[in-house]
């Protein structure tokens, strides 16, 4: 099982992008959230990670972690994210990649690819972990 | 049909794979075979020599520079990675329509500026400038060389006439400079709609000269030509066997007609109206405070650098010379020298605000500015008009006002440094030079304040 319940998060955010990312960083890293938050912001400044259909895919390369982490996050409030289709964001797929160390490149690329598939997005929205795993297994 | 491609993004994570997936999905619905190499955290799905050999087209969806050496000789198109993500079908259509055979040369020689990391309007402008810049540099230097024979040596009716000076002037001014605006507009249109767009852009650029709208008109004309061509490309659909007629005859003809009429009417008529009123306005200034006249004349000289405002003011000032009023033309000349000089200085003191190529090219601006060839500043204004033009105008306005304040007068209508040191051409020479220096420094300071640092734009 590549995806378990522990990969699913819910965030009590407010409707602003930066504070949502801050809230996310705090949820994941507690007091040591600041470098992670900055890494997210740097990435967003380069080019928004907003996709279509209410999804965004914030990601960062971090020295703090030694292996790849990924989370599927539902937001309590919609956030303007400068997405490709202009819709507000309701779901985040968060990818954290270790700067040096093992990067599960297969899973990363598979998740990224799956973000283009409606089936996968529906599965995330409805928290169908089993189906998400099947699709991921297929995509690998 | 077989397509191979590369997707890549500087952070190398999500977008690389999503773009690959989007293109794959689009290709399968359009019944194309496709293989995309993903240059993410590591390179995967590597294209083999076989793959490349068999492919009909190569698509590059990237936010960073990709080594394309292995694609030499293939039909290739580069797009922004976000474009591939958002509208993959359109990207594949564009690939088939617009791909050009890739030769390393067209990148090494053609691209003065690195356009791989920039997008949209800015990219088109940069492309136009990279087309135009060699014309400005070579033409400008050749004109300056002609001045070296004497400021009127290219004029057969002048006693100082020299046949070499005339030839140099014909090459530099009559030809290289005359091509500058058509090439700028053609380059912009080329960037938008590919080779087929050059004609509409270049014709619009030519018309910006005949309608008197100068480089601002040429910029608009370039965009107009490019987008009209692109629009026609998309809307006119013909059977396969008529495709060559479409691209050789129908589209160029319609694009040139539409763009040309638009230049003559939408752009040409208002410009000539403005210029008429401008002359009346200049006439009404007689008797106004000299400093005010200097400010206005100076600012207008820098507004369009050799365009209609610049020309109107300098021609008006030359007219005044016949009535023995020689101060305004001196102000014009000084104010026309500071834009290139100010940019040359700015690239030294504000290195971060320019690309390496811009800094290198700016060295020529010392010569062009000193020779009163204001056009040297155009390439810098084209890529960032809303910040650069005001900065240039402030510097030139101050120079013009100072020159008028010190009562500097010139007996020569042109020539810059080539006439300054001829005895009795300029009165109050020291203050005149001071005016130019102050304006140059002011321009550089304004550019420093207004221009943003160059930041790499990535996916």
Point out the residue among B10, B38, B82 whose CB comes nearest to the CB of A109. Answer: B38
Measured between alpha carbons, how far is B394 from B346 in angstroms, rounded to an integer? 14
Nearest-CA neighbor of B216 among B128, B277, B343, B318? B128
The CB-side HSE value for A100 (13 A sphere, CA atoms) comes to 0
Put simply, the answer to whether B11 touches A116 (Cβ < 8 Å) is no
Q: Cβ A109–B17 below 8 Å, yes or no?
A: yes
Per the listing, tokens 């319940």 go with A5
**What's residue B119's pLDDT?**
57
Alpha carbons within 13 A on the beta-carbon side of A10: 6
Q: How far is A96 from chain B (nearest CA, A)?
A: 10
CA distance B379 to chain A (A): 26
How far apart CA B442 and CA B435 sit, in angstroms, is: 10
| pLDDT tier, B147 (very low <50, low <70, confident <90, very high otherwise) | confident
For residue B14, list chain A residues with Cβ-Cβ distance below 8 A.
Answer: 49, 57, 59, 95, 108, 112, 115
Here the tokens at position A79 are 């956030």
The answer to whether the Cβ–Cβ distance between A47 and B458 falls below 8 Å is yes
What is the rounded CA–CA span in Å between residue B423 and residue B413? 15
Is B38 strand, coil or helix? Answer: strand
Inform me whether the pLDDT recorded for B222 exceeds 70: yes
Instruction: Assign residue A56 a region (left: φ > 0; alpha: ψ between -120 and 50; beta: otherwise).
Output: beta
The answer to whether the complex's ipTM is over 0.90 is: no
Residue B322: band (very low, low, confident or very high) from pLDDT cuts 50, 70, 90: confident
Q: Within an 8 Å CB–CB cutoff, is residue A84 touching chain B?
A: yes
Q: Are strands A89-98 and A55-56 parallel, antiparallel or unpaired?
A: parallel
d(CA A90, CA A88): 7
CB B396 within 8 A of CB B443: yes
Whether B238 shows a pLDDT value over 70: the answer reads yes
Q: Tell me the mean pLDDT in the region B1-12.
A: 82
Ranges B230-234, B312-316, B442-446, B451-455: which has the least confidence = B451-455
Q: Is the pLDDT of residue B444 over 50?
A: yes
Neighbours of A126 (CB within 10 A): 10
- φ, ψ (nearest 5 deg) of residue A102: -75, 125
Q: In the structure, what pLDDT confidence band is assigned to residue B98 with cuts at 50, 70 and 90?
A: confident
pLDDT tens per residue, range A61-77 = 888 888 888 899 999 99
Does position B118 have pLDDT exceeding 70, yes or no? Answer: no
Average predicted confidence (pLDDT) for chain B: 86
pLDDT band at B210 (very low <50, low <70, confident <90, very high): confident
B42 and A105 in contact by Cβ < 8 A? yes
B201 pLDDT higher than 90: yes
* B window 6-35, beta carbon within 8 A of A: 10-11, 13-18, 20-22, 25
User: Would an 8 Å CB–CB cutoff place B40 in contact with chain A?
Assistant: yes
User: Can you tell me whether residue A99 is helix, strand or coil?
Assistant: coil
Q: What dihedral angle (degrees, nearest 10) is formed by the CA atoms of A120, A125, A127, A128?
A: -40
- Could you tell me if B459 lies within 8 Å of chain A, comparing CB atoms? yes
pLDDT value at residue B134: 87
Q: Pick the catalytic residue from B9, B332, B408, B459.
A: B9
pLDDT of res. B130: 82
Q: For residue range A130-140, what is the model confidence (pLDDT) as tens digits?
A: 999 999 888 77
Query: Closest approach of chain A CAs to the CA of B258, in angstroms?
Result: 32
Name the region of A62 (left: φ>0; alpha: ψ -120 to 50; beta: rest): beta
Predicted confidence at residue B11, as pLDDT, reads: 62
Segment A114-120 shows an average pLDDT of 88
- Quote the pLDDT of residue B447: 96
Residue from A1, A8, A91, A102 nearest A55 by CA: A91
Task: Kindly state the average pLDDT of the residues B319-329.
Answer: 85
As to burial, measured by CB atoms within 10 angstroms (0-12 exposed, 13-18 middle, 19+ buried), residue A131 is middle
Chain A residues whose beta carbon lies within 8 Å of the beta carbon of residue B22: 116
- Highest mean pLDDT, choosing among A43-52, B68-77, B179-188, B408-417: B179-188
The answer to whether B13 contacts A46, with C-beta atoms less than 8 Å apart, is no
Question: Catalytic: B9?
Answer: yes
Query: What is the C-alpha separation between B375 and B364, in angstroms, rounded?
Result: 12
**Closest-CA residue to B355 (of B116, B141, B42, B9):** B116
Q: Do B14 and A95 touch (CB under 8 A)?
A: yes
B451 compared with B121, residue with greater pLDDT: B451
Say if the Cβ atoms of A43 and B20 lie within 8 Å: no
At residue B10, φ and ψ (nearest 5 deg) are: -55, -45
Q: Is A39 on the interface with B (CB under 8 A)?
A: no
Pick from B12-26, B87-101, B311-325 the range whose average pLDDT is largest.
B87-101
Please determine, for residue A28, whether its predicted confidence score (pLDDT) is greater than 80.
yes
Least confident of A105-109, B145-149, B182-186, B269-273: A105-109
* Among chain A residues, CA nearest to B43: A105
Q: Which residues have CB under 8 Å from A53's CB, separation 6+?
A: A85, A87, A118, A121
Please give the pLDDT value at position B110: 38
- What is the per-residue pLDDT for A103? 60
Dist. CA B148–CA B418, nearest whole Å:
7
Q: At which residue do the structure tokens 């050789």 appear?
A: B248
The torsion angles phi and psi of B52, rounded to 5 degrees, stand at: -65, -40
Smallest Cα distance from B17 to chain A, Å: 5
In order of A36, A37, B116, B243, the CA distances from A42 in angstroms are: 10, 9, 21, 47
Spatial distance between the Cα atoms of A108 and B21, rounded to a whole number of angstroms: 13
Q: Which helix or strand (DSSP H or E) is residue B185 part of?
A: helix B177-193
Question: Locate tokens 């852009």: which residue?
Answer: B201
**Looking at residues A3-25, what average pLDDT do you find?**
90
Q: Is B164 strand, coil or helix?
A: helix
Q: Could you read off the pLDDT of B37-95 as tens digits, one per residue?
A: 988 767 788 898 889 988 999 999 987 677 787 888 888 999 888 888 888 889 999 89
Checking if the pLDDT of B351 tops 80, the result is: yes
Residue B212 or A80, more confident: A80
Q: Which two tokens stand for residue B413?
A: 């209508």
B347 and B355 Cβ atoms separated by less than 8 Å: no
Average pLDDT over residues B432-457: 88
**Residue B115 above 50 pLDDT?**
no
- What pLDDT is attached to residue B106? 47
Are B398 and B439 a contacting pair, CB within 8 Å? yes
Contact A115/B18, CB-based, under 8 Å? Answer: yes
Contact B416, B371 (CB under 8 A): yes
- Burial state string for B94-121 with b = 16 or more CB within 10 A and e = fewer than 16: bbebbbeebeeeeeeeeebbebbbbeee
Whether the predicted pLDDT of B116 surpasses 80 = no
């Amino acid at each position: 099982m590549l995806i378990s319940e522990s990969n699913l998060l819910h965030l009590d955010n407010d409707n602003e992008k930066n504070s949502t990312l801050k809230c996310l960083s705090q949820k994941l890293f507690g007091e040591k959230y600041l470098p992670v938050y900055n890494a997210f912001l740097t990435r967003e400044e380069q080019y928004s990670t907003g996709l279509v259909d209410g999804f965004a895919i914030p990601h960062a390369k971090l020295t703090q972690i030694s292996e790849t982490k990924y989370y599927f996050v539902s937001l309590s409030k919609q956030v303007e994210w400068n997405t490709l289709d202009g819709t507000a964001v309701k779901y985040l797929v968060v990818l954290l990649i270790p700067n040096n160390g093992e990067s599960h490149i297969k899973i990363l690329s598979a998740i990224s690819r799956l973000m283009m598939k409606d089936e996968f997005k529906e599965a995330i929205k409805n928290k169908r972990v089993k189906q998400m795993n099947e699709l991921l297994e297929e995509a690998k | 049909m077989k397509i191979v491609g590369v997707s890549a993004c500087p952070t190398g994570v999500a977008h690389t794979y999503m773009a690959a997936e989007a293109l794959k999905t689009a290709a399968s619905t359009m019944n194309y075979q496709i293989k995309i190499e993903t240059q993410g955290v590591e390179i995967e799905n590597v294209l083999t020599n076989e793959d490349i050999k068999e492919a009909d087209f190569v698509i590059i969806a990237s936010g960073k520079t990709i080594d394309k050496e292995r694609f030499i000789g293939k039909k290739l198109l580069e797009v922004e990675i976000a474009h591939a993500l958002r509208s993959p079908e359109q990207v594949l259509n564009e690939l088939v329509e617009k791909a050009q055979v890739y030769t390393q040369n067209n990148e090494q020689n053609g691209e003065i500026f690195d356009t791989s990391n920039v997008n949209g309007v800015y990219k088109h402008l940069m492309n136009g400038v990279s087309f135009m810049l060699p014309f400005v540099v070579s033409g400008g230097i050749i004109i300056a060389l002609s001045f070296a024979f004497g400021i009127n040596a290219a004029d057969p009716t002048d006693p100082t006439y020299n046949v070499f000076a005339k030839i140099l002037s014909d090459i530099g001014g009559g030809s290289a400079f005359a091509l500058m605006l058509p090439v700028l507009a053609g380059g912009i249109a080329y960037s938008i709609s590919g080779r087929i767009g050059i004609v509409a852009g270049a014709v619009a650029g030519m018309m910006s000269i005949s309608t008197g709208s100068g480089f601002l008109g040429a910029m608009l004309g370039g965009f107009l030509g490019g987008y009209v061509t692109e629009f026609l490309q998309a809307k006119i659909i013909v059977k396969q066997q008529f495709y060559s007629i479409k691209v050789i005859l129908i589209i160029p003809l319609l694009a040139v007609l539409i763009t040309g009429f638009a230049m003559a009417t939408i752009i040409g008529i208002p410009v000539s109206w403005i210029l008429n009123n401008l002359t009346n306005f200049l006439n009404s200034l007689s008797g106004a405070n000299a400093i005010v006249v200097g400010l206005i004349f100076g600012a207008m000289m820098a507004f369009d650098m050799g365009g209609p405002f610049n020309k109107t003011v300098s021609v008006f000032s030359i007219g005044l010379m016949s009535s023995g009023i020689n101060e305004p033309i001196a102000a014009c000349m000084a104010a026309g020298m500071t834009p290139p000089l100010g940019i040359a200085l700015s690239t030294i003191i504000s290195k971060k605000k320019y690309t390496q190529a811009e800094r290198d090219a700016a060295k020529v601006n010392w010569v062009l500015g000193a020779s009163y060839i204001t056009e040297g500043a155009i390439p810098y204004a084209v890529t960032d008009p809303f910040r650069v033009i005001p900065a240039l105008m402030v510097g030139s306005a101050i120079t013009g006002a100072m020159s008028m304040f010190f009562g500097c007068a010139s007996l020569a209508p042109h020539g810059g440094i080539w006439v300054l040191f001829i005895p009795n051409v300029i009165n109050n020479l020291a203050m005149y030079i001071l005016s130019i220096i102050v304006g140059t420094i002011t321009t550089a300071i304004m550019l420093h304040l207004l221009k943003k640092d160059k930041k790499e734009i990535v996916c």
